[in-house]
Amino acid sequence: MILKDHLRKEGKVSKEDYPITIVGDIHGQYYDLLKLLEVGGDPGKTQFLFLGDYVDRGSFSIEVLLLLYALKINYPDRIWLIRGNHECRQMTAFFNFRDECEYKYDIVVYYAFMESFDTIPLSAVINGKFLGVHGGLSPDLILLNQISSFTRFQEPPRSGIFCDILWSDPIDEDKEEHAIHNEAYFPNDIRGCSYFFGYNAATTFLEKNGLLSIIRAHEAQLEGYKIHQTNIKTGFPVVITIFSAPNYCDVYNNKGAVLKFDNNTLNIQQFSFSPHPYHLPNFMNLFTCLLNRGLD
């Protein structure tokens, strides 16, 4: 109840100042979250903005949420959470978070987490210059205050601004691609929903809203981050992707990274994965696992 009260009061666009550490996808990698907090700074002295996708795929999503929620309650003016596309009923039932809740606790705990997800803000503005979202932009999103025009206290819809800021991806067109598409947005056929948005879409949105760059998560990166195309007017990247789950799913062998702002200086700090206890796939028990292997 205390947590939901904190999150409900924050509105859909929260505003944070420097210094701040910005964190991308975590995906249930609790032991990497502990390392991330060592790298990112003391939560009692440094603000943290988490860009969503706290759950699924990893085996310790509950532990991730309990730690983040405890930090939010203890440091309500320093810990900021926004919602990712996995913070919903559809994705957590399809992937493994619902199974994790039922395995470790029960379905009541799962439903309580779902209710908490419905209160998480959708975006953040950092120092009046940077927009933090999980996914990206929407063709329907012209002005930032439009995010305040709909209710977030619900399961994300399958289309519209709410959907797109959780699901969309930037695309780095070269000149030939841009000539072919010649559009700011086009359907995201890789994800099967939402859109790709290009350089023109990003620069137009940033200029209309007096912003410098979009900082987002949502896509695994080998180095833990990606600096997208540079704005020819400002000399600053129009989009920065940050991904904070090293060795993603125990197979990608990627680095994790966080983005740190302090005194108008941007630094990206990388970190490697941390060892973690082993769980059988889908939280299968040992007896069932051995039985299945015996039947093969």
Is the pLDDT at 292 greater than 80? The verdict is no
pLDDT reported for residue 34: 98
Catalytic site includes residue 86: yes
Q: How many CA atoms lie within 13 A of 282 on its CB side?
A: 6
| Interior angle at CA 148, CA 143 and CA 154, nearest 5 | 130
Q: Which residues pair with 169 in a beta bridge?
A: 196
SS3 for 14?
strand
Q: How is residue 78 written in tokens?
A: 């320093």
pTM of the model: 0.93
Instruction: Read off the pLDDT band of 14 (50, 70, 90).
Output: low
Q: Which residues of 73-93 are buried (b: 16+ CB within 10 A; e: fewer)?
A: eebbebbbbbbbbbbbbebbe
Quick one: residue 264, left, alpha or beta (phi over 0 = left, psi -120 to 50 = alpha)?
left
Distance between CA atoms of 263 and 74, rounded to whole angstroms?
25
| CATH number where 15 lies | 3.60.21.10
Helix (H) or strand (E) holding 235: none
Q: How is residue 87 written in tokens?
A: 């913070």
pLDDT reported for residue 175: 43
How do residues 121-166 score in pLDDT, each as one tens digit? 999 999 889 999 999 999 999 999 999 888 899 999 999 999 999 9
User: What is the tally of structural domains in the chain?
Assistant: 1
Cα 111 → chain centroid:
21
Residue type, 102: E
> Given 27, 86, 134, 228, which residue is catalytic?
86
Instruction: Read off the pLDDT band of 293 (50, 70, 90).
Output: low
How do residues 58-102 score in pLDDT, each as one tens digit? 999 999 999 999 999 999 989 999 999 999 999 999 999 999 999
SS3 for 145?
helix
Of 108, 107, 105, 40, which is closest to residue 78 (Cα–Cα)?
40
pLDDT above 90 as % of the chain: 77
Range of the domain at 167: 2-295
User: Cβ neighbours of residue 220 under 8 Å, at least 6 residues apart?
Assistant: 25, 243, 245, 248, 252, 254
How do residues 202-245 score in pLDDT, each as one tens digit? 999 999 999 999 999 999 999 999 999 999 999 999 999 999 99
pLDDT reported for residue 180: 44
Average pLDDT score over the chain: 91
Distance between CA atoms of 70 and 237, rounded to whole angstroms?
34
How do residues 210-219 score in pLDDT, each as one tens digit? 999 999 999 9
Q: How many other C-beta atoms are found inside a 10 Å radius of the C-beta of residue 55?
A: 28
**DSSP letters of 38-96?**
HHH--TTTSEEEE-S--SSSSS-HHHHHHHHHHHHHH-TTTEEE---TTSSHHHHHHSS
Give φ, ψ of 114 to 5 degrees.
-60, -40
Please give the C-alpha separations between residue 111 and each of 15, 83, 115, 164, in angstroms, as whole numbers. Answer: 29, 17, 6, 24
